Amino acid sequence: MSTATQPSPTAAGSGANATEAFRSVRHETADVSPERVSTVVSAVLQGVHQAIRDNDVTYPEFQAAKAWLIEVGEGGEWPLFLDVFVEHVVEEVAARTQQGTKGSILGPYYLPNAKRLPSSTDLPMRADEKGTQLTFTGQVRDVDGNPVAGAELDIWHADDKGYYSGFAPDIPEGNLRGVVVTDDQGRFEIRTMQPAPYQIPTDGPTGALISAADWHPWRPAHLHLLVGAPGHRTITTQLYFEGGEYLDSDVAEATKPELVLSPQEQSDGTRKATYDFVLERG
Ligand code: MBD
Ligand code: FE
């Protein structure tokens, strides 16, 4: 491998980029009443207070926590930390009132305005993109089983080393990202490269916490998707790979059994996976 000459993505680089990316997306934000702020923030603080009592947390530990929190902010790692350790529970609550394909977390590496692509397409990739070719096909339907023509699959994923374009040096802008539009039968066929598992950057504060706690920093290999169409609720989800490493120990706890692809090995060494999405009206 020629990694010696290639700068590795640093936590500082990807963390700061994730903060910038978060600010660039018009996320729906809540207009929160004082009662709601008081209720939820009190509950969060009570949880912290109780953890301190239950574990006899000391002054040195309190100051270490304060120093670490400052570093998370300075390193721009709040999107990374929150999406890895908290978002899955927000998604769990949202899922209580959702029909159709199961959702999963958005994560910190979504970028808006990816290239629009036809229903049968290659994802943008480097001429020498490494990895195993993956053809990902399927259909988008509504809850009554009708195909949804012109649905948009906004797809993004890591490369064969687990790095995302926009969050690592030397990967072209828009690499392995695209908005694929389904055909008149709601179908799509996306040719891409199988992603590798993702490792939380070990050189930043989130990585430092993970190693201080002796946890592992890995997410199983995954595809990210936003699937939507006019008149339908947009689904935020991820798809995983049967037999993949870390499927049962995702550091972000974002896997679901319904979201695991079963890729079939083809005679030419490429892999083929199929998944159908179901959108509820809304
Ligand atoms: C990822 O690639 C990811 O999907 C999540 C949720 C958190 C960190 C990195
Ligand atoms: Fe991811």
Q: Note the pLDDT tens digit of each residue in 215-265.
A: 999 999 999 999 999 999 999 999 999 999 999 999 999 999 999 999 999
| Alpha carbon separation from 222 to 104, 197, 237, 276 (Å, rounded) | 11, 7, 10, 16
- Residue 162 Cα to ligand 2 middle (Å): 9
- Tokens 């640093």 belong to which residue? 10
CB atoms within 10 A of CB 94: 11
Which domains does the chain show, CATH number per domain? Answer: 10-282 (2.60.130.10)
Task: Write down the mean pLDDT value for the chain.
Answer: 94
Q: Which ligand 1 atom sits nearest the alpha carbon of residue 224?
A: 4
- Using DSSP's 3-state secondary structure scheme, residue 281 falls into strand
Q: What is the DSSP letter of 271?
A: E
Residues near 38 by Cβ (< 8 Å), separated by ≥ 6? Answer: none
- What is the secondary structure of 111-129 as a DSSP string? -SSPPEE-SEEEPP--TT-
269 dihedral zone (left: phi>0; alpha: psi -120 to 50; beta): left
Report the alpha-carbon distance of residue 154 to residue 248 in Å, rounded.
26
Q: What pLDDT score was predicted for residue 5?
A: 41
The pLDDT tens digits of the residues spanning 209-220 come to 999 999 999 999
Ligand 1 atom closest to 198 (CA): 2
State residue 3's pLDDT score: 40
3-state secondary structure of 74: helix
Which residue's alpha carbon is at the smallest distance from atom 4 of ligand 1?
A: 107
What is the mean pLDDT of the segment spanning 171-185? 98
Distance 144 CA to ligand 1 centre (A): 32
Question: Worst-scoring range by mean pLDDT, 11-15, 85-89, 109-113, 133-137?
Answer: 11-15
